[in-house]
């Protein structure tokens, strides 16, 4: 697990699995944790790591309902989880799905956990909307397309935009069940001015980027979506993302759109 400070009040922790990010955003004495690392040891260490950096989260937020973003309560069992309304719909429509997906991933990676995932009380938040953190407010913007749900979290005062599974430097756009090409394009169009207004963009998987790097990825992702829409079987993938694994993601995207 790596931790980098991208602003005096924002720290990004990156999991060793899938480079999944968790972002703590602070204002005054209050802090919010967005998304989560994966491994049990990382989750166990997270409260101490954040506290040593002066962050004590009093709220959890998940960018979307994919299980790898929902693990915050394994680190902070007393905190409740806030999610966008669409994510709440998904959690209600698919009860137990996150737990099943987590068990499957754990089995795949030979990971054992001290206790199973309980989501606890989940609070639905209006998106678009705002949530208070101390004296400040983070903005919530919709982010559909990767899945049917999704929330972009923008700490405008700190210039940090937390994107969920968009603008990754390690993953091509992934159209999962519930997602759509049109939705993905709409989210990228929504992201462009937000990235312009930000100093840093934090993808759900990969490294935090400065504004220009994030805009370059946005362009690459638009080009990829064009190739996907044409049905290209072997499109050129962006540098750093042309891997066997991302070729499989592309094949899954084609199957998802075709089926």
Using CB under 5 A, list all residues that contact Zn ion.
66, 68, 165, 204
Least distance in Å: CB of 54 to Zn ion? 27
Omega of the bond prior to 128 within 30 degrees of 0, cis? yes
Residue identified by tokens 């680190």 is 75
Q: CB under 8 Å to 132, separation ≥6 — which residues?
A: none
Q: Within 13 Å, how many C-alpha atoms sit on residue 102's CB side?
A: 25
How near is the Cβ of 35 to Zn ion at its closest, in Å?
A: 8
Q: How far is the CB of 27 from Zn ion (least distance, A)?
A: 26
**Total residues belonging to the chain:** 259
Q: Dig out the tokens for 104 from the structure.
A: 């499957």
Find where tokens 């004296």 sit.
Answer: 135
Residue nearer to Zn ion on the CB measure, 68 or 136: 68
Residue 3 or 176 having the CB closest to Zn ion: 176
Contacts of 193 (CB under 8 A, 6+ apart): none
**Closer of 66 and 144 to Zn ion (Cβ):** 66
Q: Where are the beta strands (DSSP E) in 80-232?
A: 81-84, 122-125, 129-133, 136-142, 151-155, 160-164, 200-203, 209-210
Residue pair 151/63 in contact (Cβ under 8 Å)? The answer is yes
Smallest distance, Zn ion to C-beta of residue 248, A: 15
CB of 29 to Zn ion, least distance (A): 30
Residue whose CB is less far from Zn ion, 21 or 27: 21
Name the residue nearer to Zn ion (CB basis): 178 or 204: 204
Nearer CB in complex with Zn ion: 12/136? 12
Q: Minimum Å distance from CB 136 to Zn ion?
A: 26
């Amino acid at each position: 697990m790596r931790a980098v400070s991208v602003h005096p009040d924002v720290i990004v922790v990156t999991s060793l699995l899938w480079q999944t990010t968790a972002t703590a955003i602070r204002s005054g004495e209050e802090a919010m944790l967005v998304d989560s690392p994966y491994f049990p040891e990382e989750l166990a260490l997270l409260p101490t790591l954040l506290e040593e950096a002066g962050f004590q989260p009093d709220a959890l937020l998940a960018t979307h309902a994919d299980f790898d973003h929902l693990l915050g309560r394994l680190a902070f069992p007393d905190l409740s989880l806030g999610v966008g309304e669409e994510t709440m719909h998904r959690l209600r429509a698919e009860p137990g799905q996150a737990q099943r997906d987590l068990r499957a991933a754990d089995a795949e990676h030979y990971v054992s956990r001290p206790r199973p995932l309980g989501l606890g009380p989940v609070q639905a938040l209006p998106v678009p909307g705002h949530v208070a953190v101390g004296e400040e407010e983070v903005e919530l913007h919709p982010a559909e397309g990767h899945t049917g749900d999704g929330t972009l979290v923008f700490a405008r005062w700190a210039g940090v935009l937390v994107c969920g599974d968009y603008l990754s430097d390690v993953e091509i756009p992934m159209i999962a069940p519930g997602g759509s090409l049109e939705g993905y394009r709409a989210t990228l169009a929504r992201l462009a001015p937000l990235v312009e207004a930000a100093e840093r963009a934090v993808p759900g998987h990969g490294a935090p980027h400065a504004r220009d790097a994030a805009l370059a990825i946005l362009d690459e992702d638009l080009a990829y979506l064009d190739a996907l829409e044409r049905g290209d079987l072997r499109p050129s993938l962006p540098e750093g993302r042309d891997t066997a694994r991302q070729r499989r993601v592309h094949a899954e995207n084609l199957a998802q759109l075709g089926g």
